[in-house]
Amino acid sequence: MYNILVAGLVISLDLCYESDFVNSYKYKTELDADYYISSRLVDDIKEPFGQLIYETKYYKKYDMNGHIIQVQYLDGRLIGSIDYYKNSIMINIIYHNSVSEYVMSQYGLSYILSKNDAIIMHGSSIVYNNLGIMFTAKSGTGKSTHRGLWERFSDAIVLNDDKNILRLEGNDVILYSSPWSGKHKLDNNISHRLDAIVFLYQDKTNSIRRLKAMEGFKLMLSQIDFPNDDSKLLWDRITDRLLALPMYYLGCNMEKEAFEVCREMITKDLMD
């Protein structure tokens, strides 16, 4: 068991597969925990779980005597459950592997953030010339590859390669990293104001244009945590601020020119 400091929040981790989550060590702190995420291995999950309150293709949520029980699925297979109660999250793992724990612990992180003016956005983020830039798109489009071009051909620093924390602070949305950084485990324990969002799509040639707010909103919906009743007001406040940021639509291949086209547009808009 150890504590990490993420987005200004201290979270105690007591995980079965700690050795597969070693990038969390760079976030360690001696501060007292605000929240607790634990896991344990179980043989099965007993039903019923109380009143069904929410359902997606990935999970079902039940209210059971003040506990919120989330029954979790991965690729259509039941992998475990998550018990949310006050400031504690207990992960029950049926399929005994680190992937199940990693997936469910992300939901634990999201639960904590929703209570603290923050949400998760899926994407790969960098800091370049004092600008915080987020690259986002559907899985498999090439976000990490494009982010790699910025690291290769400039002095950009990766912030997080998968699960970026967005926290509303005054009039700014602040990007925070976390150890939940995808299969490449690329993250640095830094934060920065979010200055621009780039939506990627694959193309043979490289082109970029500035998006109108409504265009950006439609593309953004699939990349951010969708609100529940408790987090709807926060979600509205953060998305309103995101829509005020410069947003771009980048058709790109994976060559150096893709980086050059994107950098030229962003620096012209934001640094001139």
Q: Supply the pTM of this predicted model.
A: 0.91
Cα separation of 57 and 73, whole Å?
8
How many structural domains is the chain composed of? 2
138: domain CATH number is 3.90.228.20
Greatest alpha-carbon span in the chain: 61
CA 102 to chain centre: 13
> Domain check: are 257 and 184 in the same one?
yes
**Position 231 confidence tier, pLDDT thresholds 50, 70, 90:** low
pLDDT higher than threshold 70 for residue 169:
yes
Q: What is the mean pLDDT of residues 172-189?
A: 94
- Dihedral-angle region of residue 117 (phi above 0 means left; psi in -120 to 50 means alpha; beta otherwise): left
**Position 210 confidence tier, pLDDT thresholds 50, 70, 90:** very high
Q: What is the mean pLDDT of residues 181-201?
A: 95
**Position 201 confidence tier, pLDDT thresholds 50, 70, 90:** very high
> Domain check: are 155 and 266 in the same one?
yes
CA 63 to chain centre: 25
* Domain, as residue range, for 267: 120-271
**Position 105 confidence tier, pLDDT thresholds 50, 70, 90:** very high
> Domain check: are 22 and 104 in the same one?
yes
Cα separation of 259 and 156, whole Å?
11
pLDDT higher than threshold 80 for residue 272:
no
**Position 227 confidence tier, pLDDT thresholds 50, 70, 90:** low
Lowest mean pLDDT among 59-63, 130-134, 227-231, 250-254: 227-231
> Domain check: are 12 and 81 in the same one?
yes
pLDDT higher than threshold 90 for residue 57:
no
> Domain check: are 85 and 152 in the same one?
no
* pLDDT for 230: 63
Choose among 102, 100, 101, 62: nearest CA to 84.
62
Average pLDDT over all residues of the chain: 92
> Domain check: are 149 and 207 in the same one?
yes
Last residue of a domain, which of 96, 116, 136?
Answer: 116
> Domain check: are 104 and 126 in the same one?
no
Higher pLDDT, 171 or 16: 16
> Domain check: are 127 and 219 in the same one?
yes
Last residue of a domain, which of 116, 151, 173?
Answer: 116
pLDDT higher than threshold 90 for residue 48:
no
* pLDDT for 27: 98
Last residue of a domain, which of 81, 116, 151?
Answer: 116
CA 141 to chain centre: 17
> Domain check: are 28 and 9 in the same one?
yes
> Domain check: are 96 and 155 in the same one?
no
> Domain check: are 154 and 74 in the same one?
no
Q: Which residue has the tokens 């003016």?
A: 117
> Domain check: are 131 and 105 in the same one?
no
Q: Give the count of alpha carbons within 13 A of 16, CB side only.
A: 19
